Amino acid sequence: MVAMDRNFCHTCWRGVEIAHPADWELIAASAFGEPGSCVFADRRQERLKVQWRPLKHAPHLKKMLEEKRRKPEDDIAILSEQPPGWHGTVEAVNPGFVVHAGRFFAEPRLLLEAVLLWPGKRDRNTENAVLTRLRPTPDTETGAQRTWQAMGLRVKVGSDCDLLRFKSDVGRTVWEFGPRSGKTPVLGVRRLAMPNYWLTVPLDEWLDTQLDTPWRKKFRKRTLVNGHTAARRISVGQSRIRDKLKERERVRVDVAWQCPVEDRVYHLHYEETTTAHEVFVPDHVAVECCAPYRPPDGAEKTRRPGKKRAASRERGAQSAPSTADILEAVPMVNRVANISRGSRGGALAQVPLRKPWYLGGPVRWVFPVPDTRSVKLDVLGVTVLDLCDGIRTVERIILEFALRHRLSFVEAQKPVMEYMRQLVQRGILAVAGLQESNRES
């Protein structure tokens, strides 16, 4: 079990703890006011969907499963050898299996449902490990802390607060907490990747640039967070008339620090309407960092396309490309492309245009037509372009990009695919194994 723990990650979302394989990453999660749900996927397809909802009365799960099994058109069997308390079905699909499981937890009166998709053979050990550790979090009593862990963040806040808004972009995760009544958020946490490319000034100066217009800076000083030196700033915002009559004002504290272990910048801000001239982050709020980097599976291995992989790409080229086809494709730089590298690490990629005969001669005097297509690339775009050597697959390029910048596979996949899309559309890159009509999609 200890060896399996190293291959598992934990996600804590809206009062539910989910343990899942490390290469199953969170791709969707329920927002504030929605029924609880989380969806996890590997590099090629969805693998796990978890849903939960409170119930006043315990459901009769065994009876529900028996009724579902009576349908003659489905190849469904009752789930067996599962962890105690869980009931479910196993449905054979082509190819693989779909496992539906459910369990009712009496103390918080919560029904948990899980759907596991196995594209091939079922892994009973992984399946049972996921179900065993799928449970409500114990920190649900009033006044206690609730743990939120997902998207690279691990935050503890009071149970009277809820996550009102969240957003996860390329290397940027933003969470905003507030009262469960759904009012304006009072606490925000950001986690920012690749600071070596955008953090060009000291944290104190960068923190000043993150202040919105309604806020005015009062003072700033240094502090310690998780053993790291952090920049701290106090600001004052515009107050409502009734607060002014009570001599109260909106005060905000911003704290930012850089974690060298994760190579991330954390930004925490908290605001409060008070008569005090300075506010502090509440004691029940904790933002953890210094988690060791876990490279995506296969990131440290060298894999080159062989004859079998080339054949599979040819079969995939006959129809719309699947995710597997795209990951196995091999991008290469156009032979006629001209790459002009800049002094700051960027580059200008150009490829000459083939003009039809009717655009020559006097027509060009009236309607100027460019001679080349070009794309301006920043440092990260140049990194992607250099990896497109005609040998590495798209999957291999994403893995190496993730390893260089300490990202997960999903975090690296978005920027790499966007850079490649621009380069293919401009004719800078060609992709072996995909139809020409699908390269720009």
Tokens coding 57: 């009365």
| pLDDT of 71 above 80 | no
| pLDDT score of 361 | 60
Q: What is the per-residue pLDDT across 113-166, written as a single tens digit (0 to 9) for each?
A: 999 999 989 999 999 999 999 999 875 444 578 999 999 999 999 888 899 999
pLDDT of residue 68: 64
Evaluate whether residue 353 is within a structural domain. yes
Q: What is the CATH number of the domain that holds 58?
A: 3.40.1000.10
Last residue of a domain, one of 255, 288, 321: 288
Q: Supply 327's token pair.
A: 């990951």
| Mean pLDDT calculated for residue range 211-237 | 89
Q: What is the mean pLDDT of residues 219-245?
A: 89
Residue 184 pLDDT class (50, 70, 90 cuts): confident
Q: What is the DSSP letter of 194?
A: -
pLDDT recorded at residue 1: 30
pLDDT at residue 114, rounded to an integer:
96
Is 241 in the same domain as 312?
A: no
Q: What is the pLDDT of residue 307?
A: 42
Tell me if 440 sits within 8 A of 426, measured CB to CB: no
Here the tokens at position 183 are 């009012």
User: How high does pLDDT run on average in the chain?
Assistant: 84
Task: Tell me: do 126 and 172 sit in the same domain.
Answer: no
Q: What confidence score (pLDDT) does residue 330 get?
A: 93
Band of pLDDT at residue 257, cut at 50, 70 and 90 = very high
Does the pLDDT of residue 231 top 70, yes or no?
yes
Residues 17, 134: contact at Cβ < 8 Å?
yes
Same domain, yes or no: 132 and 152: no
Query: In whole angstroms, what is the distance from residue 315 CA to residue 49 CA?
Result: 31
Q: Give the per-residue pLDDT at 76.
A: 83
Q: Which residues of 371-382 are buried (b: 16+ CB within 10 A; e: fewer)?
A: eeeebebeebbb
Does one domain contain both 217 and 339? no
The region that residue 328 occupies, defined by phi over 0 for left and psi between -120 and 50 for alpha, beta otherwise, is alpha
What local confidence, expressed as pLDDT, does residue 145 receive?
Answer: 84
Which residue in the block uniquely carries the two structure tokens 């006097």? Answer: 362
d(CA 24, CA 3): 17
Kindly state whether residues 353 and 383 are assigned to the same domain.
yes
Q: What is the pLDDT of residue 331?
A: 93
Q: Could you tell me if 116 and 46 lie in one domain?
A: yes
Strand partners, 161: 179
Q: Are residues 260 and 320 in the same domain?
A: no
Percent of the chain scoring above 70 in pLDDT: 84
Binned at pLDDT 50, 70 and 90, residue 396 comes out as very high
Which range has the top average pLDDT, 44-58, 63-77, 202-216, 369-383?
A: 44-58
Report yes or no on 354 lying in a domain.
yes
- Assign 76 to helix, strand or coil: strand
Asked if the model's pLDDT at residue 355 lies above 70, the reply is no
Nearest by Cα to 158 from 283, 280, 29 = 283
In DSSP terms, 417 is beta-bridged to: none
Q: What is the pLDDT of residue 289?
A: 95
Q: What is the pTM of this model?
A: 0.84
268 in the same domain as 152: yes
Top-confidence residue, 179 or 143:
179
Tell me if 61 is assigned to some domain: yes
Which of the four pLDDT bands, split at 50, 70 and 90, describes residue 171?
Answer: confident
Domain count, the chain: 3
| Range(s) of the domain holding residue 163 | 145-288
Q: Which two three-digit tokens encode residue 217?
A: 């800076």
pLDDT reported for residue 324:
85
Domain check: are 76 and 168 in the same one?
A: no
pLDDT in tens, 300-332: 665 444 443 443 344 444 556 788 889 999 999
| 234: number of Cβ within 10 Å | 17
Please report, as a single letter, which amino acid is at residue 392: R
